Amino acid sequence: MSFVNPVGTATHIHSTTSFFGWAGTLFLSSTRVIFAAAFDRVLPSWAANISAKRRVPYGSLILMIVPSVVISAIYAYKPDFTSVFLDATAILALTFLATTVAAIILPWRRKDLYDSSPIAQYKIAGVPMITVVGVITGLFLLFMLYQWSFNSDNLYGTSLQKTPNSVIYFVATYVVAIVIYVVARVVRKRQGIDLDRIHHEIPVE
């Protein structure tokens, strides 16, 4: 008589369902970023196109799905390619760190914008709460980035010395992003569109 291992079954179900949750979240957040970039005129306007029938941003979905299929195929048939993505978490943390810095300086950098937000009423010892929380979050992210990148024992398998391919890949993604933005500024300026004015205000969602 065979017995079902409840722990193994539960683990399998959790792994399967969490994958679909993670994949959905990844595509949801990424398509929003692409849509926002197109809405702000950094990317071509068609990337913000929305299906009138389905109510989905098919332009941004195409820009996500096509590269994902290509990379997934390489990932599946070339095992060594997996090492390229070892530093993915650190890169995400670096992106969050930039957002955290923006939150820390918001009360002074854009006082008008901050004062008009509900969070302006919350302070800790006279310091804006968003700044206090931002500092704590920033310190935690810096600690984790240090551990991921420079841990002498390579505890997480992501030490910069052990993952040169991954470092090169993600540095390249940032370089490509900068190039896209610079090209967009030049093109939009020739069209009479000032990206600085567009990015000066947070659009209403």
Can you give the pLDDT at residue 24?
A: 67
Q: Rounded to an integer, what distance in angstroms lies between the CA atom of residue 49 and that of residue 59?
A: 5
Instruction: Dump pLDDT digits (tens) for 92-129.
Output: 888 899 999 999 999 999 898 899 889 999 999 999 99
Given pLDDT bands bounded at 50, 70 and 90, which one contains residue 16?
confident
Q: Rounded to an integer, what distance in angstroms lies between the CA atom of residue 205 and that of residue 198?
A: 15
Residue 3 has pLDDT above 60, yes or no: no
Asked if 147 and 89 touch (Cβ cutoff 8 Å), the reply is no
Q: Average pLDDT of the chain?
A: 85
Asked if 49 and 58 touch (Cβ cutoff 8 Å), the reply is yes
Read off the amino acid at residue 165.
Answer: N
Helices (H), the chain: 6-39, 58-77, 88-109, 111-115, 129-150, 164-190, 195-198
**Residue 131 has which token pair?**
């700044």
Q: Rounded to an integer, what distance in angstroms lies between the CA atom of residue 27 and that of residue 186?
A: 29
